[in-house]
Amino acid sequence: MRQQLEEFAASLPGFEKTYAWDCAQFKVAGKLFAWADEEDCWISVKASKEQQAILCEQPNIEPSPYAHIHGWVRITIEGEDDLDMACDLLQEGYSQVVAKLPKKKQAELDR
């Protein structure tokens, strides 16, 4: 499932993968939108504070350690439903970051 998650992230325009804190970091235009543990199957994803409250009512989703004060959530991936949710959350986190980029950079990603 880890590989499927990374393949989905890699399909997003401008996707970059770096490493820090013993985790894979998923970025677009140098801006972080998710990070994933290299051994356990979980991913932390950018969300708004409003989204966080709703998402954390779902099974396997909790406030992300250290970044929860900014709305980030962590999903533990135990099955296909969790994987689908993780991909949806990746798309949403990515979209939030892209929306804050300068218009010129957004246009470059659309090419």
**SS3 assignment, position 108:** helix
Q: Which residues does the chain have with pLDDT short of 50?
A: none
| Verdict on whether the full-model pTM lies above 0.85 | yes
49-70, pLDDT tens digit by residue? Answer: 889 999 999 999 999 988 888 8
**HSE (CB half, 13 Å, CA atoms) of 95?**
8
